[in-house]
Structure 1
Amino acid sequence: QNFCQTLKLFLFLIDVSRRPAWDLKIDQALLQVHNELVNENLTVYWLSDYCYQCLYQELISVPMNSIGTGPVDSQHAVTLIVNGSNSKQICRIHYHFGEFGNYSLMVKNLHNNILQFSCNIIINQNPFNSNLRMLLCASHYQEIKSDLLLIHSIELIRNWLYKKMNPRETDRLINSMCFMICFPLRRLALIIMVFVNYGGGKYWFFKHQSWNGLTVADLVFPWFVFIMGTSISLSLSSMLRRGCSKWKLLGKILWRSLLLFLIGVIIVNPNYCLGPLSWENLRIPGVLQRLSCTYFVVAVLELLFAKPVPDNSTLEIPCPALRDILPYWPQWLFMMALETVWLCLTFLLNVPGCPNGYLGPGGIGDFGNYPNCTGGAAAYIDHVLLGEKHIYQHPSSNVLYQTTVAFDPEGILGTINSVIMAFLGLQAGKILLFYKDQHRQIMLRFCIWSVVMGVISAVLTECSKDEGFIPVNKNLWSISYVTTLSSFGFVLLLLIYYLVDVKKVWSGSPFFFPGMNSILIYVGHEIFENYFPFKWKMQDAQSHSEHLAQNLIATSLWVFISYVLYRKRIFWKI
């Protein structure tokens, strides 16, 4: 019954999409400029609120006593400047247009005085609120959650029976702390990542931020890195307790890192769209490549210094309250040295044509003073070591800031802070190990770490989006981005731990199944992204509703595929 309801929902999303007759794109409105001045030709310029210190861009030129028409951005509020002859400013208007709305900007003389002007915006046709579709989908998926919980409860019973017949394999799979605590956050991040990569219904908050700041799309990858660090701590401790050789574990780490890197470079490579894959256009950095390098550094570091933690561990150290930190001081020194390297390269490296320590987007940002300095030192290092054609060609900054320089958000310099992010997740794992079954202590430490990371972020950013010392920036993986998302990560772990392990009121459904085949789901959704039934030709490609329906269907299909694989006990691990 719920399957039929879901299908009806998708059909409804497609059928009710409504757009005006004129040719507008998603997140645009129509603006008609009525120039009623008898002696002035008008030029209208615009600037989005989300474009920091940007140059105004020309929108419409309108001769005297005529009407000019053009599209205007409706994602965010914009500032319009109306200039007359000789660049004389007539008026300035701040307004947030609605998607597919029809507006008129009336410019005329005030009281027949040729030196005074009035500018007023009139709504000719009300905009279309496409966000209602998101609310409808959220409420509908909440209705079918009970069925998914029931299915998952049945699966847990089956696992318990299977454990009795095969205790060794199932104990490792079902009863580990990582299975109960780490997987829900990793599964959640994976599902959101798939939905975002498929387009997120073309909503701006499901796209990566153009430069500074955060959207939903900017949250999932660092959380995945964070929980990977937690998993490393728990899994290595478990294997060392079972007597596994460190050399054998090192071999597994090397092999897994190599496989992740090769899969990212050869199979999941966005530069396929530029033509047949060859060395000329091979993108070397990437999501899996960064996961590979991050996993290798953090896992090897943990393997070098970590010791198996007994179930009833009570290490004798001078300060028992810091028993999850003090024994690992060499790791902390290594991480501080790494962060020092990032800070020195970012703020001291001499980048030709750019000021030292430049963290801006270039393009029309910073009033157009540094158009080719996108990313500063981070981009410069990638260009020198990898070459321009071997990095990402279409960064998110080129939409709003109109940048023309290739920039890779998974570049070399940002990988340093990715390692820091995973190490903070590793610290969360140590808390779970050293304070096992001490619910209050675990939650208290998660809370303290969240507050500490939040305070560091507040200092670095000065609690602003663009004005701080080091703004939160996903493209650069700035240290403030790491501390902010780590703060969120500790909060999420605290909530999941409370719901799953303390109160036992949630089992991780409906995100359980994709987490059991996370690499397969990620690689599969990238490879088959443009194939039916994950994608099809739309009747109206400028409709949020159709994109939302298509992306939800594609994401739901991967959840269903992961469920089938789970039922068949097919798990692809590397």
Structure 2
Amino acid sequence: MKKRVLSLDVFRGATVAAMILVNNPGSWGHIYPPLEHAPWNGCTPTDLIFPFFIFIVGVSIVFSLQNKKSATEQLGTLMGKISKRAAILFLLGLLLALFPDFEFATVRIPGVLQRIAVVFLISSIIFLKTKFKTQGWIFGSLLIFYWMIMTIIPVPGVGHPNLEPETNLGAWIDRTLITEAHLWKSSKTWDPEGILSTIPAISTCLAGVLTAQWLLRKNYSTETNLLGIISAGAIAVLLALVWDPMFPINKSLWTSSYVLYAGGLAAVAFGILYWMIDVKEKKKLTAPFVAFGVNAITVFFLSGIIAKSMNTIKISSGNEDVALKTFLYESYFRPYFTELNASLAWAICFVSVWFLILWIMYKRNIIIKV
């Protein structure tokens, strides 16, 4: 049986737990700044969560497909499995967007799981069809290409290239091809997981693909490989900061500098975790994160369904019907904390409940594979 890379499960688990935490505050009007996205340019800790997860997807691609890459006679079957998994992820994303009203006429088509599906499919094909050096060239070329089209091509109806929320080229493409009815409801005119910004998101996944292959180099020691990964991550962060004045670090646009910044930090984090957990075998307190990590997609999807359900289910409170979440939050959290701390306490409680569920699944070796 193939040995799991414990540090990767820990990294994935910590990332998805953070996803659930920031997605479920008690009140969207009371959130500590590090738990919010940057208004536009810039990067908060919350802005690192999604690219970290996509980076992890890239690392996972190598660990799961490395030994199958040379079996060319089975490539068709393997591609079928990869395509099926990507389709399931995309459909789960659409289902999450549809729930609970199932308004197909206005369902948001882009989304987190949808982007994961697309970058997983394309990155897997690139990994299977090309070698390390070519993958590196593709990684860099996509970043340069995206930078050029976003800063050189005039935006139809605007007349000049720009990086503003509603008037950049990506927003125009989203409105033209997806239409405003199927975009992010908070903006309606652009989408943070839109079509054009998926191009650099592929590079984020390829960063994970490249990192994993570097780690598995056989002619060098693990320590040497890890030093290279951590050094490359640090250099990527520096390059991102140099690039930032020309092409600002921006999650919503998934700018090339953002790819280098988040990808560099992800590489450093993974390198350190691998050294501590898989090399030095410091495994104390890793189990809670592993419980999240082995069922990451499952808990992300189900937590979204439950959160929406709690806003849909109505119960009587005084002279009116209120959402179940509102009732619980106003009754058991808001009276006992400050506004910010009540909101955070709800999010922590929500994550903790899911931990208990995942812990039981983990102890019973229940892993739901998507």
Same fold (TM > 0.5): yes
Stretches of structure 1 lacking an aligned partner (at least 5 in a row): 1-170, 306-326, 362-371, 396-404, 462-467
Q: 2: CA distance between counterparts of 1:413 and 1:455?
A: 25
Q: 1:538 aligns to what SS in structure 2? A: helix
Partner of 2:105: 280
Q: Deviation per CA, 1:24-73: give whole Å up to 9, x if none.
A: xxxxxxxxxxxxxxxxxxxxxxxxxxxxxxxxxxxxxxxxxxxxxxxxxx
Q: 2: CA distance between counterparts of 1:443 and 1:330?
A: 21
Partner of 1:249: 78
Larger RCO (CA within 8 A; separation ≥ 6): 2
Q: 2: CA distance between counterparts of 1:239 and 1:393?
A: 41
Instruction: For 2:343, give the aligned amino acid.
Output: H
Among candidates 321, 340, 358, match of residue 162 of structure 2? 358
Among candidates 278, 294, 300, match of residue 125 of structure 2? 300
The 1:501–1:569 alpha-carbon spacing in structure 2 relative to 1, beyond 3 Å, is closer
Q: 2:197 aligns to what SS in structure 1? A: helix
Among candidates 354, 360, 369, match of residue 564 of structure 1? 360
The 1:249–1:383 alpha-carbon spacing in structure 2 relative to 1, beyond 3 Å, is same
Q: 2: CA distance between counterparts of 1:431 and 1:190?
A: 25
Q: 1: CA distance between counterparts of 2:72 and 2:357?
A: 36
Among candidates 263, 268, 280, match of residue 96 of structure 2? 268
1:394/1:407 contact within 8 Å kept: no
Q: 2:160 aligns to what SS in structure 1? A: coil
Among candidates 32, 38, 49, match of residue 209 of structure 1? 38
Q: 2: CA distance between counterparts of 1:423 and 1:338?
A: 10
Q: Which has the larger radius of gyration?
A: 1
The 1:451–1:435 alpha-carbon spacing in structure 2 relative to 1, beyond 3 Å, is farther
Q: 1: CA distance between counterparts of 2:99 and 2:253?
A: 24
In the alignment, structure 1 residue 573 sits paired with structure 2 residue 364: no
1:435/1:442 contact within 8 Å kept: no
Partner of 1:518: 296
- The within-5 A match list for 1:485-496 is 485-496=262-273
In the alignment, structure 1 residue 343 sits paired with structure 2 residue 147: yes
**Structure 1 residue 272: Cα displacement:** 5.3
- Cα RMSD of the aligned pairs, angstroms, is 2.4
Partner of 2:318: none
Partner of 1:477: 254
- The within-5 A match list for 1:228-243 is 228-240=57-69
Moved over 6 A (4+): 241-244
Instruction: For 1:253, give the aligned amino acid.
Output: I
Q: 2: CA distance between counterparts of 1:476 and 1:377?
A: 10
- The within-5 A match list for 1:56-205 is 171-172=1-2, 175-176=3-4, 179-199=5-25, 202-205=31-34
- The within-5 A match list for 1:423-442 is 423-435=206-218, 438-442=221-225
Q: 1: CA distance between counterparts of 2:152 and 2:182?
A: 25
**Structure 1 residue 531: Cα displacement:** 4.4
Partner of 1:499: 276
**Structure 1 residue 470: Cα displacement:** 0.8
TM-score under structure 1 normalisation?
0.57
2:62/2:209 contact within 8 Å kept: yes
TM-score under structure 2 normalisation?
0.87
Stretches of structure 2 lacking an aligned partner (at least 5 in a row): 312-323
Q: 1: CA distance between counterparts of 2:246 and 2:61?
A: 32
**Structure 1 residue 487: Cα displacement:** 1.2
Partner of 1:548: 344
Q: 1: CA distance between counterparts of 2:140 and 2:211?
A: 18
Percent of pairs identical after alignment? Answer: 27
Aligned length: 348
**Structure 1 residue 243: Cα displacement:** 8.6
Partner of 2:314: none
1:393/1:407 contact within 8 Å kept: no
